[in-house]
Amino acid sequence: MIPLDRPIRIGSRQVILVDDLVLTHLTGALAERLMAVASDDPELPLYVEQESVDALSELYPGLPLYGLWQVLIASGLIPKKPGLFQVATDTEPHGGRYLLRETGNACSGRITGETLLDAFALADIAPEPIWIDPAPEILSLPPQPIQTLRYRRAQKARARLRALTAATIMVLGSAFAGTAADHILSHRHAQKVQQAEHLREQTVRLQQDLARLEAGGRIEPIDQSRRLDQLLVLSWSFQPIELPQASVLAASTLTAIVYPLDTLPPTPPAGLMARQITHQPDGSLRIVW
């Protein structure tokens, strides 16, 4: 006999075996009281009474619940062929359990002596029952236990914990991204200041060159406003730009090297009337205007 509704060791685990029901055709009245259970045999759908398994879960907290037929099916003890299969349990007054399997139909219930109880309108009963002797050492547990009220509450708690963890990670990620953005903006500002200082030094040198030329004799006014406007466009760019050391007055054309910023590829400064744009092997742009 196999015990029901009390602890039993199967393999390395302490579990509770409960009465489950094999029923191919589920009526509306029963559907309100029963809950589906995972079955390893799709032709043998399994159900348990919800209130009963919830009460057992409260009585034995921490122990997983499995259905009797659920375990016997998972252990390979129920043949695929039609037949009447019986097993003895330690429950009173109806200690026997049966499973009647027919082509396209199956049901289960209690048995006393040779009388099948809880029969679901089955007229033809197999004359020779097949007795199953399920010794605990040969039983195997299915992968999924019965989802009791306690189990469902634990699942909801774990789901809430996962959601809270994900939200915490998102908040920390946003904070990290904000800090990284601050560092990037600070780095860009420092580059802009450096470029502005470089342009200021070039402007000072231009003014000194003009002063020396004016001191040496009369010169015609030279309009460098367009070129200075182009240098101003360069100063507005957020990308690292390298300018030549030659005087902008002496050179017929000007060349600038635009370097990539972090992972961003270099782009020509908006508003710069470039004559030639060349991609360099190091990923930079060479601009001539």
pLDDT tens digits for range 154-166? 666 767 778 778 7
Could you tell me the two tokens for 100?
């009647």
**Encoded tokens for 143:** 């992968």
Q: Which residues of the chain are under the pLDDT cut of 50? A: 121, 123, 219
Whether the Cβ atoms of residue 285 and residue 268 lie closer than 8 Å to each other: yes
Do residues 74 and 61 make contact, with C-beta atoms less than 8 angstroms apart?
Answer: no
| pLDDT value at residue 117 | 61
pLDDT of residue 124: 55
Contacts with 150 (C-beta within 8 Å, 6 or more apart), sequence order: 54, 57, 58, 61
List helix spans (H) across 32-148: 50-59, 68-74
Return d(Cα 253, Cα 247) in angstroms, integer. Answer: 11
What residues pair up with 84 in beta bridges, in sequence order?
100
Cβ neighbours of 74 (radius 10 Å): 21
Q: Pick the closest to residue 76 from 32, 25, 141 (CA basis).
A: 141
Q: So what's the pLDDT on residue 234?
A: 75
β-bridge partners, 102: 105
> For 7-50, how does the pLDDT look when each residue is reduced to its tens digit (9 = 90+)?
999 999 999 999 999 998 887 777 788 999 999 999 999 999 99
pLDDT at 121: 45
